[in-house]
A and B are shown apart, each in its own frame.
Chain A
Amino acid sequence: MKRLRKLKSVLGLAGIILIAILVSPVAADGSNIFLQAGNLTDVLRQMSVIGIIAVAMTFVILTAGIDLSVGSILAFATCLTGMFITRSSPGSSHFAQAALAVTVAVGASALVGAANGVVISAFRIQPFIVSLASMIGVRGLAKWLSKNENIDIGFGSDAAASFAGFVNQKVVIVGAFAVLAAIFWIVLDRTVFGRYVRAIGDNEKAGRYSGLPIRSVKIAVYTLSGLLTGIAGVLYAAENHQGNPNAGVAYELDAIAAVVIGGTSLMGGSGSIAGTIVGTLIMGVLTNILRLRNVDSNVEMMVKAVIIVLAVAIQKSEKAE
């Protein structure tokens, strides 16, 4: 049954790709624009930031939780990246400065995630509420740190420019997504931690009666969510050449949508990284083809809404069988 579900979301992806090929505009030389290598790698690059967040979100949702704060954490991470990469620090190499900026951004994001996890498990407040509060608070923090202005990461020859120049390559961005997805696929399928994540989401009470370290697992899952979102933030900063306190608005919803389209149940306990990758690809291809057809971005949102509901409805009907 699990295999069948995976198959269905893959079929969904195949369907979307087929439609994309059929409706794609044709270039002057008669080639299909959607299928051009440049466009296909663009699809991958555009979906990588959301994809990385969605990988972490899969773990959170598997425990029957939710993390609404990822969009704000992403903005927070872009600001920290921007601030630390543009600081004048004579004497240190470009590499050392970039390493510091990345470490601070990713580390601070992980700390925010850990704080979410601690509050959720220590005070037993619903993850929705805690991460909603965090979504508001961390957005404020990002704006306050950046004094509500974008921090430009330039194109010159300073540390900032060489950092952005390196990271903003398709191979680095897509590579980061691929490597992280692979690592966490293995973590979920092969490690004790992964098994605990699924077990707790399946039946937390039974987990307690089995002596599982429920608190630690929950804290770990939200820390992971902050950490991966921090990495996504670094990529975003390089891609857009700026630290942006207004970045990532509604990204949590895109990530949740990708996870859910990939067949992970919001009730927890059932789902996979493979599904999330497929879900992310479906959203990515859909966005790409709509933009190639110059569809109004508002219409784009409406189409996405239909796709999300359709995807989940199909999974429900399977369960009923």
Chain B
Amino acid sequence: MSGGPEPLIQLDGVNKHYDGAQALRDASFSVAKGEVHALVGENGAGKSTLSKIIAGAVQPDAATVRWRGEPVRISSPIAAQRLGIGIVFQELDLFPNLSIAENIVIGNVRMERSPWVNRKELSRFCAAHLEQVGLAASPWTLVRDLPIAHMQLVAIARALSFDARLILMDEPTSSLADDAVDRLFALIRRLRSAGVSVVYVSHKMKEIFEIADRITVLRDGSTIGTRNAADTNIDEIIGMMVGRAIGSESLAPSGPPGEVVLSAAGVTTQKLRGVTFDLHRGEILGVAGLVGAGRSELGAALFGLDPIRGGSVHLNGREFHPRSPADAIRRRFGLLPEDRKLQGLMMQMSVLENTSIAILGRLARWSFLSHSREKGVAMPVLQRMALKSASPEAGVSSLSGGNQQKVLLAKWLLTNPDVLFLDDPTRGIDVGAKRDIYHIIQDLAGQGKGVLFVSSELPELLQCCHRILVLREGRNMGIVDARTATQEQIMKLATAEPVAA
């Protein structure tokens, strides 16, 4: 490796698993003094887990960590701070109702030696660090009154305030305007020349090649390799990120496409910038893109959760602008949300109650529910899901992730939609359940429904879909034919700058 004589931090044999899923397997990572080192990978490749391990926020199952050559254990965020590791997280972990100064020194072991706050000393201490990051604001401004770019500077100032030698930045530009990005990069370069190392976690290839000295690629929890930015190019890095395709005969039903069932023209919302596509009956249209590209936002717009500001949508040939999910469901549009636990399941209710919740109005007579009628309607669908659950009366919380997802799919099938938007339906579930869900999706298309299938796993989209819509920063980057497209091609659309601006 070309990282100079002795690395600042060196991690080897890092293993970590969550609830059965292996997040990191034998990963390694090393950062030299005074370099900007980009950490890249697809969604779920293990970048966040590795960052959190370095930050002391997550403990690995196994790992050897050396800091300046000495073996250490980063047992907590405080331990990381003592070593000189500072963190600027994606979800800015500042206290919005406290001032800049209080945010900078909170948790700072040196400043909190005395229980009393000396405002004058604090002011002096913070002003120096604010100057360092180029933030011209009073230390007594409340953080919630700052624009997001400035909040980030506060987080960096906090790291500098305890003499951080390594600053970890997770997607630091995800919510920044272009000029703020330029200023951030200038600051990163200043830090580098002052001998501070920066670990830069990002999806954005253009930025990575602009700022990084070296790039390490993670895939499926393993380190694929480290390259000098000067000696590589976007294509090689993307190739390392996606790897080779796994055995993938297409599952998508063949046959001529039906008529257009859903047609979106220039759909624009707060997050979307003119998304256009046609979805046919019997078609499975994949939706690809990195986190934040606007995949879930597309669902929210179509489902009446997020107002459409421009463009038009037609469902079955008629104008479709639902005011609420209830409205969308009535028009026979369904949406399986991304977050099963937060947006999908009623955890204290039974399997049966979760399955029937969206069609109770139709099931009831004079608003009274008959248990046998409810079961009579729900059971056939649950059985078709190959649901290996004990009984419909069982609490839905007792099921595995895959079976919970099947319950939610059953709920949407009962509403008998013409179009179903599936937002990452296979996230965090085991291989067997994934296979079952692929078959259910093929079944739905076979019945002439239009399916929108969002996923972070490209092989899955290439295997299940007819066509794939690629989004990037809310824009439609193109629609590719799933039978001929490659992962590299999609990844490039999802990460690179548009060919013609």
Contact = CB atoms under 8 A, between A and B. Distances in A.
Interface of A: 1, 190-193, 195-196, 198-199, 202-203, 205-213, 269-270
A190 B368 contact: yes
B291 interface: no
Interface string B231-251: 000000000000000000000
A9 B347 CA distance: 23
A191 B367 contact: yes
A205 B345 CA distance: 9
Interface string B153-178: 00000000000000000000000000
B345 A208 contact: no
A212 B326 contact: yes
Contacts of A198: 346, 348-349
Contact of A195 (B328, B337, B345, B369): B369
B326 A192 contact: no
Given A211-B324, A211-B329, A192 B364 contact: yes
A209 B349 contact: no
B76 to A, nearest CB: 26
Contact of B369 (A191, A207, A211, A270): A191
Contact of B345 (A192, A203, A213): A203
A211 B344 contact: no
A2 to B, nearest CB: 9
Contacts of A205: 342-343
Given A203-B342, A206-B343, A207-B346, 20 more contacts: A191-B369, A192-B360, A192-B361, A192-B367, A193-B367, A202-B346, A202-B347, A202-B348, A202-B349, A203-B347, A206-B344, A206-B345, A206-B346, A208-B325, A209-B343, A209-B344, A210-B325, A211-B326, A211-B328, A212-B357
B427 to A, nearest CB: 16
A202 B360 CA distance: 17
B111 interface: no
B241 to A, nearest CB: 32
A210 B324 CA distance: 10
Contacts of A210: 325, 329, 357-358, 411
* The 5 residue pairs across chains A and B that have the minimum distance between CB atoms: A211-B326, A202-B346, A211-B329, A210-B358, A269-B348
A196 B346 CA distance: 11
B353 interface: yes
Nearest to A202: B346
A6 to B, nearest CB: 15
A253 B491 CA distance: 59
11 contacts: A191-B368, A192-B363, A196-B360, A198-B349, A205-B342, A205-B343, A208-B325, A209-B303, A210-B325, A211-B324, A211-B358
Interface string B275-306: 00000000000000000000000000001010
B94 interface: no
A1 B367 contact: no
A209 B357 CA distance: 11
Contacts of B364: 191-192
Q: Which of A195, A196, A270 neighbours the largest number of chain B CB atoms within 10 Å of its CB? A: A195
Q: Which of A191, A193, A203 neighbours the largest number of chain B CB atoms within 10 Å of its CB? A: A203
B368 A269 contact: no
Contacts of A203: 342, 345-347
A198 B346 CA distance: 9
A1 B395 contact: yes
A182 to B, nearest CB: 15
Interface in B19-74: none
Contact of B349 (A193, A199, A208): A199
Nearest to A205: B343
A293 to B, nearest CB: 40
A207 B348 CA distance: 13
Contacts of B347: 202-203, 269
Nearest to A271: B348
Nearest to A198: B349
Contacts of B363: 192
Contacts of B198: none
B179 to A, nearest CB: 35
B353 A211 contact: no
A203 B347 CA distance: 8
A205 B326 CA distance: 13
A192 B369 CA distance: 6
A209 B348 CA distance: 17
Interface string B204-248: 000000000000000000000000000000000000000000000
Nearest to A196: B360
A210 B335 CA distance: 9
A199 B357 contact: yes
B326 A269 contact: no
A147 to B, nearest CB: 44
A270 B345 contact: no
A81 to B, nearest CB: 31
A203 B368 CA distance: 22
